[in-house]
């Protein structure tokens, strides 16, 4: 036994594998890529005993070891390669007891690879609801491996699972024979393959022949050698694979007949099936989904507002206190006008981010999100997308980077490429700070019909606009990207369950922490750079601007004069001059040079826009205004041409529409390049989204002004 053995969690989608992973690892988790490939994996540590700390690896969910997508391929790639760093010492195959017949197919295939296996019998409560009883002892005798009854949601049975894993690590128990032995009809071919590639497992030899083109650890000469064996023995991979699957299911049927007892005398639908009658209805399903979305966006504004006001006021108070107590000078200005103002512009949106992820986590935990994917599949196909595109698009509401990575589950190249290109049009959480602060400026907090908040309706409209634009863009792209491949969408609907509040809390915590940490690092760096550019200018330009302001505004009060001096110095700085340089390009959209600076800085990350505006307006105001919140600074900003409010409805909606479409995230472009292995498609993505953003913002401003 290795000092740090690897325990693989393998199972069908929705079998409870990830729930078991969370139970075993708790907070001792990390994410990364499987060695050699850009496929995400979750791993964590688990103390098997006082001396052994095992590494738990959560493998992608699969239905069989014959992959149909990039993320499924990694499972077979590892099981067939004992030299892989993630090759398991023990595989825990998690099965859904309510669907034992289908789940055992994967188990028999994993077992035939020769890996020590523990069968984790999960969802027994669901099986009982369907009047099914599974005899775990008899199942263990028939399979020849340890079988443990668990509840991955509550943690029940984990002690027995630990004992079974420890037993398999110390003295592995293997089935007496393969569940499917190809040597009976392919003895000569199997013998030659085992001899040529130094293998001792019949089923592994068969997989070398069937999947050799997909195995990353085989070099070209080895693949050519396998092709030669296939030609020599006239071996048909597809025909044999179909025959194998049929044979396995026949043997599995005999096993399940012995171990599963059904107590249901009638075909009465379960309560989950009764709910699905409405949730999956071609009319009511969309109506219910729309109503749930409306409630989510209403809650984001209604519940988060008190917390946002408290954080906003607290940051403004701290800023004022620091300016009063610290000696005046560049370091104090950097701390207050640069770092604190920039980061404070993001911290204020933590409550809304937290509530968004809380409500989405509740939908996922309950099982409703799977229903959303099914009903959305009907729409996706009309626009030429694969049904599996639903998952990345919905994930894009949180962040486009993992959403683009999730396209690996899409089998056809064209559908995967189109999904990658349109996913950033879905409004991610980084846009939420921009949406909420601009909506609060121009949309009154008024209720419609006594129930719906007008600001919540505006927010929902922006998210729906992102979805509609993604579908339209996908339809246009499919006209240019032709293919004969046909996509498919298979999803098993889990039963409805009560959310696990510890998992919901962990999801919210991880999401908020990631948002603050990732955004905070970028904002900190940009705030410092921006403060330097806005506090210094070429030559004596800033001193001349100050002298000119004093001479031209002698009638102003002291406070008004200080504000004018600060504004003129900012305009004469490096940042101001650069803003003026690009102002002619953005002027048709209604933007001035200050907004131009924020637009450019937000190319690093969209959420930087708010922090940049906070820094710009902090530097461009007098010292007596240090305790004014960012929202008030935007509201008080004047248009130098008209003397009226700068942030009119026309300007605010122009900015909102711009950020719905704009491709302003370097991380997303990097993810697109990594997934497509070309800079061509990130360039296409950047160009078409920026042109769309500019055109839509221009039309919005011209129509509303």
Q: Is 160 annotated as a binding residue?
A: no
Q: Is 125 annotated as a binding residue?
A: yes
Q: Is 99 annotated as a binding residue?
A: no
The strand pairing partners of 47, in sequence order, are 53
Q: Is 122 annotated as a binding residue?
A: yes
Q: Is 17 annotated as a binding residue?
A: yes
Q: Is 13 annotated as a binding residue?
A: yes
Q: Is 145 annotated as a binding residue?
A: no
Q: Is 59 annotated as a binding residue?
A: yes
Is there a contact between 30 and 114 (Cβ–Cβ < 8 Å)? Answer: no
Q: Is 112 annotated as a binding residue?
A: no
Strands 447-448 and 452-453: antiparallel
Q: Is 18 annotated as a binding residue?
A: yes
Strands 53-58 and 40-47: antiparallel
Taking CA atoms, 524 is separated from 142, 604, 620, 631, 650, in Å, by 61, 12, 19, 20, 31
Q: Is 39 annotated as a binding residue?
A: yes
634, two tokens: 């935007």
Handedness of CA 157, 159, 164, 166 (dihedral sign): positive
Q: Where are the beta strands (DSSP E) in 259-351?
A: 260-262
Q: Is 151 annotated as a binding residue?
A: no
Is there a contact between 511 and 353 (Cβ–Cβ < 8 Å)? Answer: yes
- How many whole angstroms separate alpha carbon 218 and alpha carbon 220? 7
Handedness of CA 212, 213, 215, 217 (dihedral sign): positive
- How many whole angstroms separate alpha carbon 117 and alpha carbon 111? 6
Q: Is 124 annotated as a binding residue?
A: yes
Q: Which of 118, 103, 98, 94 is nearest to 17 (CA)?
A: 94
Q: Is 123 annotated as a binding residue?
A: yes
Q: Is 537 annotated as a binding residue?
A: no
Q: Is 25 annotated as a binding residue?
A: yes
Q: Is 660 annotated as a binding residue?
A: no
Instruction: Transcribe 86-127 into DSSP letters.
Output: T--SEEEEEEEGGGHHHHHHHHHHHHHTT--EEEEEE-HHHH
> b/e for 45-62, b at 16 or more Cβ within 10 A?
bbebeeebebbbbbbbbb
- 539 CB burial (10 A radius; 0-12, 13-18, 19+): exposed
Output Rg (C-alpha) for the chain, integer angstroms: 30
Q: Is 60 annotated as a binding residue?
A: yes
Q: Is 37 annotated as a binding residue?
A: yes
Binding-site entries: 11-18, 22, 25-26, 36-40, 58-61, 122-125
Binding-site entries for Mg(2+): 22, 25-26
Binding-site entries for GTP: 11-18, 36-40, 58-61, 122-125
């Amino acid at each position: 036994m290795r000092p740090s053995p690897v325990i693989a969690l393998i199972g069908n989608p929705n079998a409870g594998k990830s729930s078991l992973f969370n139970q075993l690892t708790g907070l001792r988790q990390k994410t990364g890529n499987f060695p050699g490939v850009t496929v995400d994996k979750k791993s964590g540590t688990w103390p098997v005993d006082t001396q052994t700390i095992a590494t738990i690896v959560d493998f992608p969910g699969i239905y069989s070891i014959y992959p149909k997508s990039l993320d499924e391929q990694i499972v077979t790639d590892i099981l067939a390669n004992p030299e892989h760093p993630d090759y398991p010492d023990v595989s825990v195959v998690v099965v859904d007891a309510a669907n034992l017949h289908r789940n055992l197919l994967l188990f028999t295939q994993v077992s035939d690879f020769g890996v020590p296996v523990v069968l984790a019998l999960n969802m027994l409560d669901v099986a009982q609801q369907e009047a099914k009883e599974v005899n775990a002892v008899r199942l263990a005798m028939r399979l020849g491996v340890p079988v443990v009854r668990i509840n991955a949601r509550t943690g029940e049975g984990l002690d027995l699972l630990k004992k079974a894993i420890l037993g398999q690590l110390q003295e592995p128990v293997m089935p007496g024979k393969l569940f499917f032995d190809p040597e009976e009809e392919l003895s000569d071919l199997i013998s030659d393959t085992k001899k040529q590639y130094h293998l001792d497992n019949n089923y592994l030899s068969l997989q070398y022949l069937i999947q050799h083109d997909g195995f990353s650890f085989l070099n070209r000469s080895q693949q050519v050698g396998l092709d030669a064996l296939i030609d020599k023995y006239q071996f048909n991979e597809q025909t044999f694979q179909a025959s194998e699957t049929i044979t396995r299911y026949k043997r599995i049927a005999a096993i399940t007949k012995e171990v599963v007892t059904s107590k249901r005398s009638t075909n009465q639908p379960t309560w989950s099936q009764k709910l699905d009658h409405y949730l999956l209805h071609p009319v009511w399903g969309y109506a219910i989904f729309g109503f749930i979305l409306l409630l989510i966006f209403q809650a984001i504004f209604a519940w988060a507002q008190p917390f946002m006001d408290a954080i906003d006021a607290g940051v403004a108070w701290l800023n004022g206190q620091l300016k009063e107590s610290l000696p005046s000078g560049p370091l104090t200005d950097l701390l207050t006008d640069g770092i604190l103002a920039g980061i404070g512009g993001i911290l204020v949106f933590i409550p809304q981010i937290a509530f968004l992820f809380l409500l989405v986590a509740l939908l996922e935990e309950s099982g409703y999100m799977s229903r959303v994917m099914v009903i959305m599949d009907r729409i996706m196909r009309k626009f030429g997308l694969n049904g599996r595109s639903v998952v990345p698009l919905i994930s894009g509401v949180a962040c486009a980077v993992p959403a683009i990575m999730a396209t690996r589950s899409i089998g056809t190249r064209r559908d995967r490429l189109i999904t990658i290109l349109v996913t950033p049009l879905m409004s991610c959480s980084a846009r939420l700070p921009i949406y909420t602060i601009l909506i609060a400026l121009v949309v009154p907090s008024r209720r419609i019909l006594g129930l719906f908040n007008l600001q919540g309706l505006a927010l929902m409209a922006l998210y729906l606009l992102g979805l509609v634009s993604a579908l339209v863009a996908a339809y246009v792209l499919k006209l240019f990207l032709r293919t004969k491949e046909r996509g498919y969408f298979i999803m098993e609907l889990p039963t409805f369950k009560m959310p696990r509040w510890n998992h919901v809390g962990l999801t919210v915590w991880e999401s908020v922490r990631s948002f603050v940490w990732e955004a905070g690092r970028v904002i900190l760096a940009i705030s410092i750079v921006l403060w330097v550019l806005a506090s210094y200018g070429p030559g004596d330009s800033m001193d001349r601007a100050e002298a000119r302001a004093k001479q031209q505004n002698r009638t102003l009060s002291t406070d008004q004069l200080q504000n004018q001096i600060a504004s003129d110095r900012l305009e004469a700085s490096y940042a101001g001059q650069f803003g003026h340089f690009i102002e002619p390009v953005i002027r048709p959209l209604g933007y001035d040079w200050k907004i131009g600076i924020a637009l450019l800085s937000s190319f690093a990350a969209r959420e930087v826009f708010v922090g940049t505006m906070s820094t710009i307006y902090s530097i461009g105001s007098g010292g007596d205004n240090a305790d004014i919140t960012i929202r008030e600074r935007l509201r008080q900003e004047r248009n130098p041409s008209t003397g009226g409010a700068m942030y009119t409805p026309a300007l605010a909606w122009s900015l909102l529409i711009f950020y719905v479409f704009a491709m302003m995230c370097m991380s997303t472009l990097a993810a697109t390049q990594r997934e497509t292995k070309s800079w061509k498609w990130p360039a296409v993505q950047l160009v078409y989204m920026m042109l769309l953003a500019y055109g839509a913002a221009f039309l919005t401003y011209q129509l509303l002004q």
